[in-house]
Amino acid sequence: MSDVKQTPQNVTAQPGTLYVVATPIGNLEDLTFRALRILQEVDLVAAEDTRHSRKLFNHYGIKTSLTSYFEHNEAAKGEQLVKLLGSGKSLALITDAGTPAISDPGFLLVQRCRANQIPVASVPGPSAVTTALSIAGLPTDRFVFEGFLPTKQKARSEKISTFLDEKRTIVCYESPRRLLKTLDMLQELLGDKREVAVVRELTKLHEEVFSGYLPKVIAYFRASGVRGEVVLVIAPTVGCDQVETVMEALVRLRAETDLPMRQIVKQVAKQFKLSGSDVYKESLQLKESEGKHG
């Protein structure tokens, strides 16, 4: 059978079209054949960091011109890029790693293109979210992506508190220097019985997945240190409020941790969504009971 020749529109990048192109998150071999072809064929590539993307281009011998498109120039640069597309130029959008617009620049440009009836095509490929989920060993039937957690402590605490009753697996990005603080806060607000997986250096030489209950994971990274890009995967709640009573939770934490009673009261109050004073009253009963038996 002779080869079937494809028509030109199936071979070359189309004029006036924005291509949202996923690029490797670590291993350069993860660039798809189609992504390579599109990056070679478009008139211009908009990149989050042109210096970073130049390494990928040099590796594959891609000669297409690069222009910067990042968080702090999205508004002004996006207008220019839409005008280029409107004039018939083809454009590829890439970020430093993974899929554009997923916790990376891109959403505003896609939105502008849609508003101006400019065609937008997806060139799918690597994404740290789905890659981490696929090897974390936690439920994947339902999940929610939270992006980067807030950097300020109060805002981060408020965000993590919303995870208490989350029945879907939670995926977050986190910096290596903040990971331990985040894990400590997760333990304080969600308790010791929540499983997590820290997925580090995806697709790179030192790729690692370390998972388990929070105390175990915290101890491991406190001893070994944290390096590289991190994706944090948090297991869904297992309905602790239906498994044990407030008093049982107080007794368990008293036996399993070295936390002072005021910290135990605070943690249980958050777990059961009660006021601290209500839980404190129950803790007094526990002290009274221990006194009688002690």
Per-residue confidence (pLDDT) for residue 23, from 0 to 100: 98
Residue 192 lies in a domain: yes
Q: Could you say which of 209, 234, 259 is where a domain stops?
A: 234
Residue among 86, 6, 7, 74 at smallest CA distance from 43? 86
Residue 58 lies in a domain: yes
- Residues 21, 115, single domain; the answer is yes
Q: Are strands 44-47 and 120-123 parallel, antiparallel or unpaired?
A: unpaired
Strands (DSSP E) contained in the chain are: 18-21, 44-47, 66-68, 91-94, 120-123, 143-148, 169-174, 195-200, 208-213, 230-234
Q: What is the token pair recorded at 73?
A: 């120039």
- Residues 133, 225, single domain; the answer is yes
- Residues 270, 223, single domain; the answer is no
- Residues 190, 225, single domain; the answer is yes
pTM of the model: 0.75
Cα separation, 266 vs 278, whole angstroms:
11
**Tens of pLDDT, residue by residue, the chain (294 residues):** 334 333 344 568 999 999 999 999 999 999 999 999 999 999 999 999 999 999 999 999 999 999 999 988 888 899 999 999 999 999 999 999 999 999 888 999 999 999 999 999 999 999 999 999 999 999 999 999 999 999 999 999 999 999 999 999 999 999 999 999 999 999 999 999 999 999 999 999 999 999 999 999 999 999 999 999 999 999 999 754 445 788 888 988 888 888 889 999 998 888 888 888 888 988 888 877 766 555
Q: Could you say which of 234, 263, 285 is where a domain stops?
A: 234
- Residues 151, 255, single domain; the answer is no
- Residues 137, 198, single domain; the answer is yes
- For residue 194, the domain's CATH number is 3.30.950.10
The secondary structure element, H or E, covering residue 219 is: helix 214-224
Per-residue confidence (pLDDT) for residue 2, from 0 to 100: 38
Cα separation, 40 vs 61, whole angstroms:
9
- Residues 40, 62, single domain; the answer is yes
Residue 6 lies in a domain: no
- Residues 109, 155, single domain; the answer is no
Residue 221 lies in a domain: yes
- Residues 193, 269, single domain; the answer is no
- Residues 87, 150, single domain; the answer is no
Instruction: Please count the structural domains in the chain.
Output: 3
Contact 149, 182 (CB under 8 A): yes
The secondary structure element, H or E, covering residue 58 is: helix 50-60
- For residue 54, the domain's CATH number is 3.40.1010.10
- Rounded (10°) CA dihedral 223, 229, 235, 237: 90
Residue 8 lies in a domain: no
- Residues 21, 88, single domain; the answer is yes
Residue 164 lies in a domain: yes
Residue 208 lies in a domain: yes
Structural domain for 273, as ranges: 240-293
- Residues 213, 183, single domain; the answer is yes
Q: Could you say which of 108, 126, 144 is where a domain stops?
A: 126
Residue 176 lies in a domain: yes
